[in-house]
Amino acid sequence: MNGYHLLLEISEGIAVITINRPAAMNAMTPATLDELAEAVRRVNGTPEVRAAILTGAGTKAFMAGADIAAMRDMTPAQARDLARQAHLIYADIERSPKPFIAAVNGYALGGGCELAMACDIRLASENAKFGQPEINIGIIPGFGGTQRLPRLVGKGRALEMILTGEMIDAREAHRIGLVNRVVTQEELPEEARRLARAIAAKGMVAVGLCKDAVNNGLNMELAKACAYEAELFAHSFSTADQKEGMSAFLEKRPAVFRDR
């Protein structure tokens, strides 16, 4: 899939989705969202894809927010529709049984920061910058920033970023828990692939159940979340992968998972 705004490449079970507007700092437009929705559908609907990496073309930006020129004259109804479209796409990433890794290679601002937060794991290059600068143009984050950012870094830090609109660098993002690790610009693509391969080597049923337990459990009271985990744990014992995984462990050999 090679669209005008986005590239999708699949190799050795790893999908790489690249926002491809480097001249515009990979800024998000409604057309970009349409292509992203299709790319996520393809990843989720392609059995041979076992993990996905999201990144931006070039070295300057992952996604430097939304295209303000495309948004300036929107009506409130159009703005609501745009936000709802983004919410659906980002939720599809979050709910996917497959892992999504954000490889943040520059500015991740506004909708770009929100896209990275919808992914399961975030890697950042040393030159990455994160922010929710919507307050500076008279609006609020609309693609999940007011909800996912506090869940990742806590209410106080999230409100500081949202209310000041200030950017933070990769090291600060790592310190507060917004990103998992920081690597050099040169190391980022291979580090993302290494991580994707490591997860892709596991049984996809268990990977999906782990995502389900974490994402849904976070929204539950602890006792209910633990009960939900117990049900998913029990379900994992109904799979062929559980039998294979435990047998391989006891027989001291690598497991060969069949994703069932």
Residues known to be catalytic: 114, 134
Residues in the chain: 260
Main-chain dihedrals φ then ψ at residue 123, nearest 5 degrees: -110, 145
Is residue 191 within 8 Å of residue 183, measured between CB atoms? yes
Torsion of CA 215, 221, 222, 225, to 10 degrees: -50
Give the 3-state secondary structure of residue 32.
Answer: helix
Q: What is the CA 226 to chain-centroid distance, rounded?
A: 25
Cβ-proximal residues to 182 (8 Å cutoff; 6+ apart), any chain: 123, 124, 125, 126, 128, 170, 171, 173, 174
* Three-state DSSP class for residue 19: strand
Q: Where are any strands of DSSP class E within 21-166?
A: 51-56, 61-64, 100-104, 107-109, 121-125, 129-131
Q: What are phi and psi of 17, to 5 degrees?
A: -100, 120
Q: How far apart are CA 52 and CA 111, in angstroms?
A: 19
Mention every residue, 6+ apart, whose C-beta is less than 8 A from residue 238: none
CB atoms within 10 A of CB 220: 13
Residue type for 240, please?
A
